[in-house]
Amino acid sequence: MKTTKDFLQMKERGEAIVMVTAYDYPSARLAEQADVDLILVGDSLGMVVLGYESTVPVTVDDMIHHTKAVRRGAKNTFIVTDMPFMSYHVSKEDTMKNACRIIQESYADAVKVEGADEVLDTIYSLTKAGVPVVAHLGLTPQSVGVLGGYKVQGKDAESARKLIEDAKKCEEAGAMALVLECVPMQLAAEISTMLSIPTIGIGAGNQTDGQVLVYHDLITYGVERVPKFVKAYASVQDAIVNGIRQYTQEVKARQFPATEHSFTMKEEELAALYG
Ligand code: KIV
Ligand code: NA
């Protein structure tokens, strides 16, 4: 399994870092088979798997439940688990306890938190306590209510300057990596050059040290619309719907199951049964 040190070295070598989300055993198995460098158990879980409107309703227990399944499917891949909404804001004690539960109960290798400012102290304390932390700046979906929607961040000089400062502070606080979501490519490039820790971009252009995409977006699985920054590398949902539809038709037509899918008794046993 790759470690935080490997990710730093990959950045130094200019080798792109590949991250994808996964939420359960099969998605984790397939991601590991496809040789990704890290798996993110994102709180996007809430939207793509649990059907919520945002990531806000996701709980620590949800994250643990799904990370356990991901770990069982990807024993040899570095797993980052999102700390969900409000699980690192109420008090320092609760923050440490929640992160500790995620690491100890689900065997995640690191946690991810959104934002800078008051979150910097959390990054620092968790890192000091031995928990690797991935920071997340730009569009931070847990703050969608405050941001006023899912919009590109850091487009004007003032907010770009703040993002650059925040990125620096995340690194200083001890973050092992920084996710940059929905920021102009020039800004993401600048931040990536400035930091020694790897940046992992989503909707942040081609100059970040790595990329991350949401599993269901990448393979078009149960999603209706994908953001501009997504490239769909496969479409499994048509195959799934067609498969289930054909099953439905064959059951209705009494074509399934055929004899080849059925078990039989020997003639003599049948005779003994009815004889
Ligand atoms: O929850 C998630 O999937 C994420 C990625 C989009 C970075 O945080
Ligand atoms: Na997330």
21, 23, 58: residue to mutate for ligand 1 pocket, most atoms within 8 A of CB:
21
Q: Is 4-235 CATH 3.30.2270.10?
A: no
Q: How far is 79 from 195, CA to CA, in rounded Å?
A: 22
Amino acid 224: pLDDT: 87
Q: At what angle do helices 119-128 and 157-173 cross, to 10 degrees?
A: 20
List the pLDDT tens digit at each of the 275 positions of the chain.
Answer: 999 999 999 999 999 999 999 999 999 999 999 999 999 999 999 999 999 999 999 999 999 999 999 999 999 999 999 999 999 999 999 999 999 999 999 999 999 999 999 999 999 999 999 999 999 999 999 999 999 999 999 999 999 999 999 999 999 999 999 999 999 999 999 999 999 999 999 999 999 999 999 999 999 999 988 999 999 999 999 999 999 999 999 999 999 999 999 999 999 999 999 97
Q: How far is 168 from 156, CA to CA, in rounded Å?
A: 18
Q: How far is 92 from 126, CA to CA, in rounded Å?
A: 10
Nearest Cα neighbor of 204 from 225, 170, 181 is: 181
Amino acid 1: pLDDT: 95
ipTM of the complex: 0.99
8-state DSSP, 259 = G
Q: How far is 128 from 239, CA to CA, in rounded Å?
A: 47
Domain-by-domain residue ranges, the chain? Answer: 4-235, 239-274
Q: Is 62 annotated as a binding residue?
A: no
Q: Residue whose CA is closest, atom 5 of ligand 1? A: 42
Amino acid 172: pLDDT: 98
8-state DSSP, 90 = S
Instruction: Tell me the pTM.
Output: 0.96
Q: Contact at 8 Å (CB) between 38 and 79? A: yes
Q: Residue whose CA is closest, atom 4 of ligand 1? A: 42
Ligand number nearest to the C-alpha of 204: 1
Ligand 1 contacts (CB < 6 A) are 21, 40, 42-44, 82, 179, 181, 202, 212, 214
214, 221, 228: residue to mutate for ligand 1 pocket, most atoms within 8 A of CB:
214
Q: How far is 169 from 117, CA to CA, in rounded Å?
A: 9
